[in-house]
Amino acid sequence: MECVGAAEHYDGRARLAKEICRKEIFTTRDYRELLARPGLDAVIVATPDHWHAKLMEDCCAAGKDVYCEKPMSQVAEEGPRMIAAAKKHKRVIQIGSAGISSVVSLKAREIVASGALGRLTLVEATQGRNSPGGAWRYPVPPDASPRTIDWENWLGKASSRPFNAIHWARWRCWKDYGTGVAGDLFVHMITSIHYITGTEEPPLRAQSTGGIFRFNDGRDVPDTLATVFTYRRFPLYMRISQGSASPRTIRFLGTKGVMELGGGGLTFTPQDGKDRGPSSFARAWPQELREAYLAKWRDDNNPKPGQSTVASDSQRYVAPRGHSGSIEHFHDFFTAVRTRGGTIEDATFGHNAAMGCHMANYAYFNNTIATWDSAANKIRG
């Protein structure tokens, strides 16, 4: 493949595109000029969230395949339109939550599918950051100005306002342009959970709590968010904090064991689900009944001579050195562009994952329990 051009509202990043490619490429502030150029097969949409839907729809209409950064949509209503555009124009779509292309995610999916985890009873997903950069307080380029940034076009569908370099650089902090911690960080974990469990639909409902507890810098989205999701097959608890650091961890709890993803690998600890000793409840029985119960319990459960077994230990699986899920994710996309095959995270998959983010935000901002109305393609609460 070859990079042939870039569309960018900030002149500095147009120069950066040439530096990355190490050659002179076509650059423009108007993406439509890029789409009109001959020989263009695919487009990477790496923009603020509020541009994703418009760009994907226009790229598809122009006959271009699309790799779109996560979350696929900024609001729930955009997802079905984006899916329809991809289908109508027969375009290859890949949504950019690259973690599911890691061999660790594939191993986790195999473990769940094998039944080794048993029945899934709960999923927990947590992550924390503790730095201004981790809370999107990005530095503003010293040359940022209305001269170097096409502010009016960058705003797109967002509310009109005078040039604001802070809004431009730290766009994730405002609902007008982004989707908060849900769209930035929840979506990675939701995508992985959907892939590993084989989930092909949005959550049934979501209930959220959170707030701005550290970064009260004018943003209108929380820096801490915790959401309980209900799926058909399992409940999910998810938490993100930008005020205290903790590693990204996804824990799958099943009747036959616990599987935890984190630190570049996964650990599976089997459980047999059996009592480790007689029930203490029998202590409240009369002596004759209690002793008969204890004798039978020991006869049924104590190993017979020559029949004792060694308990299975935890198993750790780590990705090979140098493996990158991000590279594999792009490779999957470019392979599909060539072969016209499917991708691991197509538009429907991306929509289902993004819906979890939208439902979490809806529940938080409306102080309600968000439910998904699949017939109407609408969040209700």
pLDDT of amino acid 47: 98
Q: Which of 190-199, 307-316, 340-349 has the lowest mean pLDDT?
A: 307-316
Distance, CA of 336 to chain centre = 22
CATH at residue 327? 3.30.360.10
Report whether 237 contacts 122 (CB < 8 A): yes
Burial level of 141, CB count in 10 A (0-12/13-18/19+)? Answer: middle
pLDDT above 90 for 304: no
Distance, CA of 116 to chain centre = 25
pLDDT of amino acid 303: 78
Whole-number percent of the chain with pLDDT over 70: 98
Domain extent at residue 365: 99-272+313-380
Each residue's pLDDT tens digit, 55-96: 999 999 999 999 999 999 999 999 999 999 999 999 999 999
pLDDT above 70 for 311: no
pLDDT of amino acid 309: 60
Q: In this structure, is residue 49 part of a structural domain?
A: no
Q: Which of 134-148, 193-207, 315-329 has the lowest mean pLDDT?
A: 315-329
pLDDT above 90 for 310: no
Q: In this structure, is residue 246 part of a structural domain?
A: yes
Beta-strand relationship, 265-270 and 315-318: antiparallel
Each residue's pLDDT tens digit, 96-112: 999 999 999 999 999 99
pLDDT of amino acid 217: 96
Q: In this structure, is residue 282 part of a structural domain?
A: no
pLDDT of amino acid 308: 62
Each residue's pLDDT tens digit, 232-251: 999 999 999 999 999 999 99
Q: In this structure, is residue 253 part of a structural domain?
A: yes
pLDDT above 70 for 213: yes
Q: Which of 151-160, 301-310, 340-349 has the lowest mean pLDDT?
A: 301-310
**Number of domains, the chain:** 1
Q: What is the mean pLDDT of the chain?
A: 96
- Mean pLDDT within 127-148: 98
Beta-strand relationship, 120-128 and 315-318: unpaired
Does the CA dihedral 187-193-198-201 come out positive or negative? negative
Q: What is the rounded distance in angstroms from the CA atom of residue 63 to the CA atom of residue 40? A: 9
For the record, the structure tokens of 103 come out as 């061999």
Distances (CA, A) of 273 to 209, 226, 257, 276, 282: 33, 30, 8, 9, 20
The residue among 261, 251, 259, 263 whose CA lies nearest residue 115 is: 259
- Mean pLDDT within 244-268: 97
Q: What is the rounded distance in angstroms from the CA atom of residue 35 to the CA atom of residue 62? A: 7
Q: Which of 121-135, 236-250, 294-308 has the lowest mean pLDDT?
A: 294-308
Q: In this structure, is residue 70 part of a structural domain?
A: no
- For the whole model, what pTM was predicted? 0.95
Q: What is the rounded distance in angstroms from the CA atom of residue 64 to the CA atom of residue 40? A: 7
Distance, CA of 208 to chain centre = 17
Q: CB within 8 A of 204, min separation 6: which ones?
A: 230, 231, 232, 371, 372
Q: In this structure, is residue 237 part of a structural domain?
A: yes
Q: What is the rounded distance in angstroms from the CA atom of residue 81 to the CA atom of residue 76? A: 10
Put the strands of the sheet holding 246-254 in their side by side order: 315-318, 265-270, 257-262, 246-254, 120-128, 235-241, 224-230, 205-211, 369-373, 378-380
pLDDT above 70 for 144: yes
